[in-house]
Amino acid sequence: MSYNKRENYEALLAHEPVEWIPDQVMDVKIAGGRAETWENGPLDHDGYDGFGNRWVSTVTSGGAVTPDSKVIPLDDVCDWEDKVHFPDLDAIDWEEYAAQQLAGYDRAERILEYHTWDSIFLRFTHLLSFEEGLCAFYEEPEASMALCNAITDYKIRLVGYIDKYFKPDVIIHYDDTATSKSLFMSPETYRTFIKPCHKRLNDAIRSYGILPGTHVCGYCTDIIPDMIDEGSVTWQSAQPSNDIAHIIEEYGDRISVVGGYDTQGAPGLASATVDEVIAETTRCMEEYGKYGHSFAIFPLIVGPAGDEHITELYKNIHETAVKLGREIPATLRAEGKLPAIG
């Protein structure tokens, strides 16, 4: 018996031994993300989202859009009920939106993950700015908690539409609560304001029979147990500023780690060489794939889509990931360290 991509990734999400180490980009169908224009602004030019944030493309972000720091929809968290406007989800042409993204997708062959950006902490700080948002947690805790809950209520409504029109296996909500060195706040502050909202959102996701996961691409080791408590079965896009090997050893029976590739270092730059990306892919597969479970590589290079050099880099990354992704578990099985499949 041999797995297909869906079955192999289902084993990953169940924290069971995989037949091969998955490459998320190649093995999973991802929907949502940047296409959520009501969350992230227009696709083809700078502009506003449904909350009143203006999104702009910058050179330092590799062409990705980020909130315009000059446009702050909310200058006082205590005024959120009067000033915060949530997107009208009924106004979205969900049938067309889903049809465009799911064209050619075979559910029998691959897992479907819906990625929704700008979760509780990110939207809170988009509305107020990072500095004012972080200060608000300390200066106006009641109003801050109320706004976080309102954002959660909105996200839960969004999940209902996602379920109806996409029927995904997994929903990943993006909440970058950390820099490459530390959390933006103390773990205690996270547990006061963000954790309860993540738990409520994840419970809502599970109520539809969908698995929840969290994206944090910074140093978040201190809150991995909290992610598990919140109900996330997968943590994406894990960066090596965290001790990923230790996290797999300690928590791999409860949460799967997707990432590993050093997106924030030289291998994640558009200027990376083929040798650099092959070396980084090899490091990931050997250091984290050696467990045979609970790890999938997710490589990301920051740069313009369609760039010929970046396309060549990805080609070499995926070829290396496929080769080692098969070889490493096969060796583990030959040594009796992993059970046979089937």
Would you say 120 and 145 are in contact if contact means Cβ atoms under 8 Å apart?
Answer: no
Q: With respect to residue 286, please indicate whether it lies within any of the assigned structural domains.
A: yes
Q: With respect to residue 262, please indicate whether it lies within any of the assigned structural domains.
A: yes
Q: Give the contacts of 266 (CB within 8 A, at least 6 positions apart).
A: 272, 276
Task: State the pLDDT at residue 62.
Answer: 66
For position 158, which CATH number holds?
Answer: 3.20.20.210
Q: With respect to residue 340, please indicate whether it lies within any of the assigned structural domains.
A: no
What is the distance between the alpha carbons of residues 115 and 98, in angstroms, rounded to a whole number?
Answer: 13
Q: With respect to residue 341, please indicate whether it lies within any of the assigned structural domains.
A: no
Q: Give the contacts of 142 (CB within 8 A, at least 6 positions apart).
A: none
Would you say 280 and 318 are in contact if contact means Cβ atoms under 8 Å apart?
Answer: no
Task: State the pLDDT at residue 305.
Answer: 78
Q: Domain range for residue 43?
A: 5-334
At 193-219, the pLDDT tens digits run 999 999 999 999 999 999 999 999 999
Q: Is the dihedral of CA 297, 303, 307, 310 positive or negative?
A: negative
What is the distance between the alpha carbons of residues 12 and 110, in angstroms, rounded to a whole number?
Answer: 13
Task: State the pLDDT at residue 64.
Answer: 81
Q: With respect to residue 209, please indicate whether it lies within any of the assigned structural domains.
A: yes
User: Block means of pLDDT (10 residues each) for the chain, length 342 residues?
Assistant: 94 98 97 96 94 88 84 97 98 98 97 97 98 97 98 98 98 97 97 98 98 97 98 97 98 98 95 98 98 97 89 97 98 95 80
Task: State the pLDDT at residue 61.
Answer: 67
Total of domains in the chain: 1
Q: Around Cβ 321, how many Cβ atoms within 10 Å?
A: 29
pTM value is 0.97
Residue with tokens 């990301």: 300
Task: State the pLDDT at residue 283.
Answer: 98
Q: With respect to residue 339, please indicate whether it lies within any of the assigned structural domains.
A: no
What is the distance between the alpha carbons of residues 295 and 12, in angstroms, rounded to a whole number?
Answer: 7
Secondary structure element (H or E) that encloses residue 105, with its range: none
Q: With respect to residue 252, please indicate whether it lies within any of the assigned structural domains.
A: yes
